[in-house]
Amino acid sequence: MKVAYFILNNFDFDTRARLEVETLREMGLEVDVIATVGGSFDDFKGAKLHRLPQWRGPTRKFRFAQYNCLAASLGAKLKADVYHAIDLDVLLATYLASRRHRAPIVYEARELYTELEPLSGRRGAKAVWSFLERRLINKAARIITINDSIARVLCKRYGIEQPVIIRNVALLPENLRPVDLRALFDIPRGWRVMIYQGVLRHGQGLSYLVEIMRYLEKTALIFFGDGVIKPELLDQAARLNLSDRIKFGGRIDSDQLLNYTAGADAGLLLMEDVALNNRLALPQKLFQYLVAGVPQIVSPMAEIAAFVSSEKTGIVVTLDDSRIAAGDIAAFLSHDTAINAARENCVKSARLNNWRRESRRLVEIYEGLCQK
């Protein structure tokens, strides 16, 4: 059985995509990944990577149209048995490619795409994406999303059956080797170390996090990742005289990321209430912190806060007052009993909330498609 896997990024740093493709390969399926240029390899666990050009056109619309035209053509030539779309921005290409062979589509809605923060206030663009999803979502043989909240919205809007929930959990590491972040970034031994890992972009509370650092003592912050607002964060840290305590570690290879994560005292996820997708999100970085045994400090977004509160793996802080948030963080990081209990709960929770268990649902989907 052959799977064409469509994704509008370079695949290399997309941990969930790598986990899914590895799972499909472990099932013995042939997988062709249709990604973009910018990656460093052409084969992953036996899956072939096709890297489509992404010329720097005048707008993001151009790059979307370019990918979907090229991907639809390539996908049709692959003559796959199943066409798998990662998010709404590749669903059109997936549909066009599958139609020639009357092959089933798996639509994986990792986000509530029409409610992404970049679409806030852009009624025209939002209407186009909504129209596209409404027309194509019922073409999918199977629909996947990441939590019950987003599933309920999709069901209500489009009258679809309950999607399969496959959360953004991480793979439980077998041989974790924590990196000594204090030595690597010249941080004093007696200080606490907090990290944020992921794309540096608006809506993640990163500027607010820098502001919080003003009120914390003997605490360092490391950003692992890259993105459009990195220059803003560097400038803000410099203006607040925090450059010696706020470090930028760049992007870390997916195979090594959890080793860096495990070297921290706490992982940060302060998503802002700027869009419905943010309010309902349950990002993978939360589970990456979890499986690395690192307590989480999160904002009061519904799914994120509910998980951390129920599992007792960290604390929820306000987004309304940086002084109050800093006080709560300082109290947590300085309370050895509390932080050690959170670490122990991370270990317990990770045994149940990890990719090895969660991936069974992906396997079941493909086993069902194989039988048709």
CA dihedral 85, 90, 96, 101 (to 10 degrees): -20
Query: What is the C-alpha to C-alpha distance for residues 170 and 257, in angstroms, rounded to an integer?
Result: 11
**Residue ranges in 137-215 assigned as alpha helix (H):** 148-158, 181-184, 206-213
DSSP 8-state class, residue 145? E
Please indicate, yes or no, whether residues 91 and 196 belong to a single structural domain of this protein.
no
Task: Please write the tens of the pLDDT for every residue from 65-92.
Answer: 899 999 999 999 999 999 999 999 999 9
List the structure tokens of 72. Answer: 């639809």
Q: How many domains does the chain have?
A: 2
Buried-state track 149-178, b at ≥16 Cβ within 10 A, e below 16: bbbebbeeeeeeeebbebbbbbbbbeeeee
Q: Write the pLDDT tens digit of every residue in 138-154.
A: 999 999 999 999 999 99
Kindly give, in sequence order, each residue whose CB lies less than 8 Å from that of residue 238, ignoring residues fewer than 6 positions away.
Answer: none
Same domain, yes or no: 160 and 252: no
Same-domain check for residues 13 and 156 = yes
Alpha-carbon distance of 281 to 7, in angstroms, equals: 19
The answer as to whether 174 is a domain residue is no
Q: Are 250 and 275 in contact, with CB atoms under 8 Å apart?
A: no
Q: Considering the chain, what is the average pLDDT of its residues?
A: 94
Q: Rounding to the nearest 10 degrees, give the CA dihedral for residues 98, 103, 105, 106.
A: -130
Q: Given this model, what pLDDT does residue 64 score?
A: 85
Q: Does one domain contain both 41 and 138?
A: yes
Check whether residue 195 and residue 299 sit in a common domain: yes
Residue 285 lies in a domain: yes
Q: How is the chain split among helix, strand and coil, in percent rounded to 5?
A: 45, 15, 35
Per-residue pLDDT of 103-115, as tens digits, reads 999 999 999 999 9
Nearest Cα to Cα of residue 207 among 295, 270, 264, 120: 270
Contacts of 154 (CB under 8 A, 6+ apart): 109, 112, 137, 143, 145, 160, 163
Residue 338 has pLDDT above 90, yes or no: yes
Q: Is residue 146 part of a domain?
A: yes
Report how far residue 282's alpha carbon sits from residue 271's, in angstroms, rounded to the nearest whole number: 10
Q: What pLDDT sits at residue 285?
A: 95
| Alpha carbon 122 to its chain's center | 23
Q: Does 185 fall in a domain? A: yes
- Residue 244, classed as helix, strand or coil, is coil
- Output the pLDDT for position 59: 65
If asked whether residues 163 and 221 sit together in one domain, one would say no
Residues 237 and 162 in one domain: no
**What domain range is 265 assigned to?**
181-350
203-262 tens-digit pLDDT: 999 999 999 999 999 999 999 999 999 999 999 999 999 999 999 999 998 889 999 999
My answer on whether 207 and 277 are in the same domain is yes
pLDDT value at 56 more than 70: no
The tokens of 54 are what? Answer: 């992404």
DSSP calls for 41-81: -SEETTEEEEEE-----SSHHHHHHHHHHHHHHHHHHHT-S
Structural domain includes residue 175:
no
Over range 262-288, report the average pLDDT: 96
Q: What is the pLDDT of residue 122?
A: 85
148 and 22, same domain (yes or no): yes
Average pLDDT over residues 174-198: 95
Q: What is the pTM of this model?
A: 0.93
pLDDT for position 372: 65
Residues 355, 169 contacting (CB under 8 angstroms) = yes
CATH assignment at residue 321 = 3.40.50.2000
User: Would you state the pLDDT for residue 131?
Assistant: 94
* Ranges of H-type helices in the chain: 15-26, 60-78, 91-99, 123-136, 148-158, 181-184, 206-213, 230-239, 257-261, 276-280, 284-291, 302-311, 322-334, 336-350, 355-358, 360-370
Task: Note whether residue 68 is domain-resident.
Answer: yes
Q: Return the half-sphere exposure (C-beta side, CA atoms, 13 A cut-off) of residue 326.
A: 17
Percent of all residues in the chain with a pLDDT value above 70, rounded to a whole number: 99
Q: Are strands 314-316 and 105-109 parallel, antiparallel or unpaired?
A: unpaired
- Is the pLDDT score of 58 beyond 60? no
Q: Do 343 and 359 fall into the same domain?
A: no
- 20 shares its domain with 151: yes
10 Å CB burial of residue 223 (0-12, 13-18, 19+) is: buried
57 pLDDT tier (thresholds 50, 70, 90): low
Q: Is residue 173 part of a domain?
A: no
Judge if 185 and 203 occupy the same domain: yes
Q: CA 302 to CA 278: how far, in whole Å? A: 9
* 176 in any annotated domain: no
